[in-house]
A and B are shown apart, each in its own frame.
Chain A
Amino acid sequence: MTRSSRLALALVPAAFGVVMVAWPLAAIFRRGLAPEGTLTLEPLGAVFASDRTRSLVRFTIGQAVASTLLTLVVGIPAAWALSRTWRGAGLARAIVTVPFVLPTVVVGLAFRHWLDRGTLAIVLAHAVFNVAVVVRVVGAAWAGLDPEVDEAARVLGATPSRAFLTTTLPRLRAAIAGAALVTFMFSFTSFGVITVLGGPRTGTIETEIARVARQLQFDRAAALTLVHLVVVAAVLALAARLGTVRGIDRFDPSPRRGRPVLLAAALTPALVLVVTPLTMLADRVARPHGSWSTAGIASLAADDTALAIRPLDSLFVSLRFALVATAVAGVVGGLAAIAVRDRRRGLGRLLEFLLVVPLGVSAVTIGYGYLVTFDEPPLELRAHWYIVPLAHAAVAVPFVVRATVPALRAVDPALREVAATLGARPLRVWFDVDRPLAARAFAAGVGFAAAISLGEFGATSLLAREGTPSAPFAIGRLLGRPGERNQQAAFALALVLGCVTALVVFVADALGRPRREVRA
């Protein structure tokens, strides 16, 4: 594809990023820092200089780094195991994604059975939520590595560990950096986990933004959001340095197996981490009073809970949101990935930054930004149901981009040149060479986009909407009322939401599997 046509492709994601991210953020900055039209920097100075901000920043970054490291340690072996071909791998891949959509109060309840509130509980919970990120991004890349490179190293006398360190790890570096980046961002901006599992004195920048925004102190909210952005920019720069290794291999979709013992050993920590809260949840639904009962599942179709509608109806709303959000994230993210593939500076960098910002910036700020931005024609989006899936897509796009770009960059340029020499037009080259090779990574990203939408994104809770609530909101409302049956319905709905997510992710993965073998 030519330079100019790729630039044209970039217009769609750029427009999306400006409308859904930059503009709402700018609206809050304007309200917070220039309420009378002239910029006032006192709130900025006051926030930056205060001891409280410093300790918030320290804790926020510290817990996010710890969460990211733990997630990588648990997730990378699991990613390897799930990149191999064995019966049940697809199912296991779907299962590790389930916690991602569980409401934080539900996971928090599970954790409170064994752990006191505090940093350890927070870091563990973040690992539970984010292990799916590592498994999906790194696993997709790993599945595409050419095994002949390792074999060559072994033939030349390298030990397995040396072969891993010298040939495999460098080729995975971009994917690992991408997964670490996303995990860091999710932990950095985490809100629910902190409020449920943090102690009263445990605050992050995000919980502080929520607190001051609730008091309508938008000057402080804007200043804290700027702190967020500074950290995000620094982390992105770091990730870009780590992730710039050029792919040296070819994609080889032929199945590879692993020794069962090794597979089991690699997968066990991640499965224990993920399955434990799921087991607790299933047990809570199936045995609400310590003995078996169908009351939990039956409550899904009951219309006499505090929800006043059948809890099950909310699932259909969630599915519709997820469908639209996934389609938008797929198109926008896919186009963005193609556009930034060869651009590491200038506009490409700007676009990448713009599209990753929603991961690392306060959901509360963006949510209030939507309120004040989309309140008049022609963009009176707040009144329409599709503002919700659009907001979900804004969070999911970076994930699609992060998953797809390393795969696209790993495509051997020689393949494209060969195709072009044989007379293929640029679009044809892309369709025959890039598309099939990156399909798996793209599907990993898109499946995750569906999961993000099904799990609901915090910014949308600040918008009022008509009609049936989506499943995460229904769960929230049920847990917001005293009474055993409301809680049973909440847990049953959470369990079903988890199962539906696993199914959706499973289908997305299956559809992304390469149709035919591609060989150079």
Chain B
Amino acid sequence: MRRLILVLLALALVAAACGNDDATPNGDGTTTSGARRAVTVDLLAHASFVVPQAALDEFTATTGIAVNVLTGDDAGTVTNQVILDREHPQADVVFGIDNTYLGKALAADVFAVDEHDVTALAPDLVAGLDTERVVPVDYGDVCLNYDIAWFAAEGLEPPDALSDLVDPAYEGLTVVEDPSTSSPGLAFLLATTRATGDWEAYWERLRDNDVLVVSGWEEAYTVEFSGGGGGGARPIVVSYASSPPADVIYSDPPRDAPAIGVVDDGCFRQVEYAGILAGTDDPDAAARVIEFLLSEPFQTEVPLGMFVFPARVDTPLPDVFERFALHASAPVTIDAATIDAERDDLLERWTEIVLS
């Protein structure tokens, strides 16, 4: 009898696992297409990509093109993926390669050439860019964040410049990400090469001021940062200028004002791009998907979906974004080719200075 119950229990688990087919299409999407849909475009994106189903459905209804989203890990992994799979790309369109990785992808020649209409996008995002290969979709600033309550309780002024971090008064307060394993970590390192007079000397002083280096944003923000909910001890962290609106929207209990402040100095402007992958069997349909990513219905959803700014200039921003997200006044911007040329030496030198 007892065995029977166990067997039934096991079967129930099986049923639960399999009965979910309709709610979560996890199988091979191509089998369901064909009859109903004329074309399916595979869109490879990083794990933070969010697109409202309604916007996608609308796009499919008007164009007859179904979009099948393939979710990868972070921007770095997605870049490696398209480079490694260059001969047999898994997707038709890639979204989410940022300016710290774009140089690598361009050098590997993974993109198909096409005319893209970029007239509606912010001119400074397009300037100098090979827009026949990639288009900017969104951007955001990597900046220092601080825990407002911590500084109030300690009676210490929150930092307002990169130079504060090497001040002895701020000793042991900062946590940063390792630039060789983390995207925001690399962005911050790049910012210091332009926003401080001598970046090597700056990092030496930062190291002597007991900066903590961890491997990724999750370890930094949710474990070590005092304002990240994980009970960490350090009140300054390298994160995003859009952390405050996220902090408000996802607060519990609800708050009207963020508990996180952003330092408007030494910010690095991260731009995320989309492009058609060379080898797609339907470049026209792929081009329509790029158009969709730049269209108003998608761009309007960008701020609250991915917590970044839309590349399209006339896009209205949601109130919470308007009020709490920092739009860095003078962010560091470096073009992709320069980053690609500098990256390896920069990482090696940084590792020597900070980790050895």
Contacts and interface: CB of A to CB of B under 8 A. Distances in A.
Interface in B203-219: 212-219
B229 A320 contact: no
B250 A483 contact: yes
Contacts, number: 192
B33 interface: no
A375 interface: yes
Nearest to A490: B222
A105 B9 CA distance: 31
B229 A487 contact: yes
Interface string B340-356: 00001001000000111
Interface string A360-399: 0000000010011001100010111100000000000000
A52 B229 CA distance: 36
Contacts of B69: 466
Given A385-B28, A511-B10, A368 B250 contact: no
B134 to A, nearest CB: 18
Interface residues of A, number: 68
Given A105-B223, A320-B20, A484 B85 contact: no
B1 to A, nearest CB: 12
Contacts of B214: 195, 200
A469 B88 contact: no
A375 B230 contact: no
Interface stretch (B42-50, B117-125, B136-144, B152-160): B42-50
Interface string A469-495: 100010011011111111110000000
Contact of A467 (B26, B78, B181, B354): B26
Contact of A482 (B2, B48, B243): B243
Contact of B218 (A214, A385, A480): A480
B298 to A, nearest CB: 14
Most chain-A Cβ atoms within 10 A of its Cβ — which of B14, B25, B90, B229? B229
Given A317-B26, A464-B72, A486 B250 contact: yes
Given A480-B47, A485-B251, A464 B180 contact: no
B24 A317 contact: yes
Nearest to A105: B218
Contacts of B9: 507
B338 interface: no
A483 B85 contact: no
For chain B, the bracket of interface size reads 35 or more
B26 A214 contact: no
A483 B181 CA distance: 23
B149 to A, nearest CB: 14
Contacts of B78: 464
B7 interface: yes
A129 B68 CA distance: 37
Contacts of B218: 105, 476, 479-480
B316 interface: no
Interface of A: 105, 108-109, 112-113, 195-196, 198, 200-201, 207, 210-211, 213-216, 288-289, 295, 305-306, 308, 313, 316-317, 319-320, 322-323, 368, 371-372, 375-376, 380, 382-385, 461-469, 473, 476-477, 479-488, 503-504, 507, 510-511, 515
Interface of B: 2-3, 6-7, 9-10, 13-14, 16-18, 20, 23-29, 44, 47-48, 50, 68-73, 76-78, 80-81, 83-85, 87-88, 90-91, 104, 178, 180-181, 212-219, 221-224, 228-232, 239-240, 243, 246-247, 249-253, 260, 305, 307, 344, 347, 354-356
28 contacts: A109-B230, A195-B219, A200-B178, A200-B213, A200-B354, A214-B76, A216-B104, A288-B252, A295-B252, A305-B250, A308-B50, A316-B16, A319-B13, A323-B14, A384-B27, A461-B73, A461-B77, A466-B68, A469-B47, A473-B47, A477-B47, A477-B48, A479-B218, A480-B48, A481-B250, A482-B246, A484-B247, A507-B10
